Structure 1
Amino acid sequence: MIKIKKIEKENEGVGGERKSEKDQSWIPKMIKKRVCTTFVEDSSSSGALCQCGGPQDIHASITTGDHVISQWDSEEHTSEYPTDAFGQLEFAGAGRRNSPFLRLAHDTPPDNVYSLMMSQWGLPIPNLVVSVVGGEGKEKVKPWVREVIRQGLVRAAQSTGAWIITSGLREGVGRCVGEAVRDHCATASSLSQAKVIAVGVAPWGLIYQRQQLVNPQGSFPARYYVHNMPHECSCLDNNHQAFLLVDDGSVGHRGSETMFRANLEDFISHQRTGIWGERKKTVQLKNKTSLNHATTLTTPSAARDLTLYEVSRVLSEIMEDVCQPFYYAPLGVEQGWASRKAMTHVNKLLRTESVYRKQRCMSPWIALFIWAVLQNRREMSIYFWEMAGESVLSALAGCKILRELAKLETETETKLSMKELAQTFENLAHDVFSECYQSNESRSFKLLIRQSPVWGSATCLQMATAADARLFFSHDGVQTLLSEIWWGDMDSNTEVWKLVLSFFLSPLIYTNLISFKEQEKDEKPEEFHQGKELDSVDGAESLADVINTEDDVEECKALRGKPKASKAITLKRPFLLHRWRQFWFAPVTSFLGNVLMYFLFLFLFAYILLVDFKPPPPDGPAPSELVLYFWVFTLVCEEIRQTFFVGSTTVLQRMKLYIQDIWNKCDITALALFILGLLCRMFPRTYHFGRAVLCVDYVVFTLRLIHIFAVHKQLGPKIIIVGKMVKDVFFFLFFLGVWLMAYGVANQALLYSYDSRPGWIIRRVFYRPYMHIYGQIPLDEIDADKRQERECTDNVTLIHQGAEPCPQSDANWLVLILLSVYLLVTNILLVNLLIAMFSYTFNKVQEHSDVHWKFQRYNLIVEYHSRPCLSPPFIIISHLHIFFKRVIQRLPSNKSQHFMLDLKSKEASLLNTWESTLKENLLSTQGKKQRESDTERLKRTSTKLRKLESEVEYCSTALSWIVEALSQSDLVKQTRPPPLPSKGIASKRPTFSRSKLC
Structure 2
Amino acid sequence: MGESLLLEPSLAQTLAVSAAKTSKLSLSTSTQRSLAAWIKDNIRKKECCFYVNSDSKGICKCGYQRIHHVDDSIKPENYLGETWDRHRHVHEVPTDAYGDIWFGGLGQKIGRYVRVSSDTSPDLLYQLLTEQWKLPPPNLLISVTGGAKNFYMKPHLTALFRRGLIKVAQTTGAWIITGGTHAGVMKHVGQAVREYVLSSGSMEGQIVAIGVATWGAIHNRRPLVHHEGRFPAHYSLDMQSQGHLSCLDNNHSHFLLVDDGTHGCYGVEIELRSRLERLISQQPLGNRGRTRGNGFHISFELHTKPDQHLVALVIRSRLPGNTTALVLIQVYLSLSSPLPLPANRSSESVGMERWERQLELAVAWNRVDIAKTDIFTEDSQWKSSDLHQAMFSALLGHKPQFVQLLLENGVCLREFLGDQTTLCDLYTQLPTSCFFLRRLRKNIITLNMFVRFLQSRDCTSAALAASKILKKLAEEGAEEEDEAEEMRELAKHYETHAIGVFNECHCCDEERAQRLLIRISSSWGQTTCLRLALEADDKSFVAHSGVQKADMYINDMWNILDFLSILLFIIGLAFRLTTRLFYAGKVILCIDFIIFCLRLMAIFIISKTLGPKIIIVRRMMLDMFFFMFLLSIWVVAYGVAKQGILIHNEDRLDWIVRGVIYEPYLIIFGNMPSNIDNALFDIKACSVNGTESQKPKCPILNEDKMPAFPEWLTIILLCVYLLFANILLLNLLIAIFNYTFQEVQDNTDTIWKFQRYELIKEYHSRPAAPPPLILLSHIFLFIRRIVLQRPPNSYRAFSES
Q: State the TM-score bracket (shorter-chain normalisation).
A: 0.3 to 0.5
Structure with higher helix content = 1
